[in-house]
């Protein structure tokens, strides 16, 4: 489980990621001069970097105008991550069955810095765009239940800070309330997110325990639209997420 991230020195790898991000966000191909200007990089080193990114299948160059864009081959790498990261391949079938049985979306989250990241998902809202989606730990049900497993001395690193902004009107920005939520989650075994990251959604999460991994790194969340949540039994959802977390833990305990 990674601690809050520190500032990182630029390397060819971070520069390559910056190039890919720039092209993804622009949504169209760019020439070397434009990329260099936007990223503040010398064209000489950028040429070498672009060549490497093309060789590994992340970028492609248009032979007519010589501009660079993202190659669809990058999805082979994305698929590799999605299939094998955090034992996703082992959990996929169980998540799909759970989503159908519970009539809800089901997410697996991990911590990264001060955020909780979706690494696997199933259900109506478990589509491609949800992978990598992240929320501040203090406003995330998986984030809260995972931090609750840590010693209390670690909690302040994940608490809301003065410069944090409320994602929704329901987002908690009080460290004291955050600590109270963690103590409650630690005792109950689950944590709630009631419209803290999206006014349209509610989730409840529990820890998925893997053999020999301590502190735990995975949490499963049952996610519902708020209007659907109003017609569901809260206690039943809490028991369902605890049972699902236990079931997924047993899936991960089976040697492959």
In the chain, domain spans: 12-71, 77-253
Q: Two tokens at 163?
A: 């410069």
pLDDT tens digits, residue range 124-181?
Answer: 988 767 888 899 999 999 999 999 999 999 999 999 999 999 999 999 999 999 999 9
Task: Tell the CATH topology of 77-253.
Answer: Beta-Lactamase (3.30.450)
Mean pLDDT (the chain, rounded): 92
Q: How far apart are CA 237 and CA 203, in angstroms?
A: 9
pLDDT at 176: 98
Q: Two tokens at 208?
A: 């998925």
Q: Looking at residues 237-253, what average pLDDT do you find?
A: 96
List all residues 6 or more positions away from 159 whose beta carbon is below 8 Å from its beta carbon: 138, 175, 178, 179
Q: How far apart are CA 220 and CA 91, in angstroms?
A: 11
Spatial CA neighbour of 19 closest among 31, 9, 8, 7: 31
Q: CATH classification of 12-71, choosing from 1.10.10.10, 1.10.1060.10, 3.30.420.40, 3.40.50.720?
A: 1.10.10.10
Q: Two tokens at 202?
A: 């509610």
This prediction has a pTM of: 0.82
The DSSP letter of residue 56 is T
Q: Two tokens at 75?
A: 């999805």
Beta-strand pair 59-61/115-122: unpaired
Spell out the long-range contacts of 64-68 with Cβ–Cβ below 8 A and sequence spacing 24 or more: 65/29, 65/31, 66/31, 66/32, 67/29, 67/30, 67/31, 68/23, 68/29, 68/30, 68/31, 68/32, 68/35
Q: State yes or no: pLDDT of 86 exceeds 70.
A: no
Label residue 24 exposed, middle or buried (CB < 10 Å: 0-12, 13-18, 19+).
exposed
């Amino acid at each position: 489980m990674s601690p809050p991230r520190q500032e990182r020195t630029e390397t060819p790898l971070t520069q390559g990621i910056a190039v890919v991000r720039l092209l993804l966000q622009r949504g169209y191909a760019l020439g070397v001069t434009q990329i260099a200007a936007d990223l503040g990089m010398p064209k000489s080193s950028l040429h070498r970097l672009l060549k490497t990114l093309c060789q590994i299948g992340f970028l492609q160059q248009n032979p007519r105008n010589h501009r660079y864009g993202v190659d669809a081959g990058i999805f082979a790498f994305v698929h590799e991550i999605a299939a094998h990261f955090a034992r996703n391949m082992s959990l996929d079938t169980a998540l799909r069955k759970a989503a159908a049985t519970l009539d809800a979306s089901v997410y697996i989250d991990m911590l990264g810095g001060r955020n909780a990241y979706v690494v696997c998902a199933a259900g109506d809202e478990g589509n491609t765009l949800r992978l990598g989606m992240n929320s501040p730990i203090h406003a995330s049900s998986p984030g809260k239940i995972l931090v609750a497993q840590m010693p209390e001395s670690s909690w302040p690193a994940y608490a809301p800070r003065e410069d944090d902004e409320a994602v929704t009107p329901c987002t908690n920005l009080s460290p004291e309330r955050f600590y109270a939520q963690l103590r409650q989650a630690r005792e109950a075994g689950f944590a709630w997110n009631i419209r803290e990251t999206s006014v349209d959604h509610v989730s409840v999460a529990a820890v998925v325990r893997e053999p020999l991994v301590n502190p735990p790194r995975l949490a499963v969340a049952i996610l519902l639209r708020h209007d659907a949540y109003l017609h569901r039994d809260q206690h039943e959802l809490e028991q369902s997420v605890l049972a699902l977390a236990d079931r997924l833990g047993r899936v991960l305990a089976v040697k492959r």
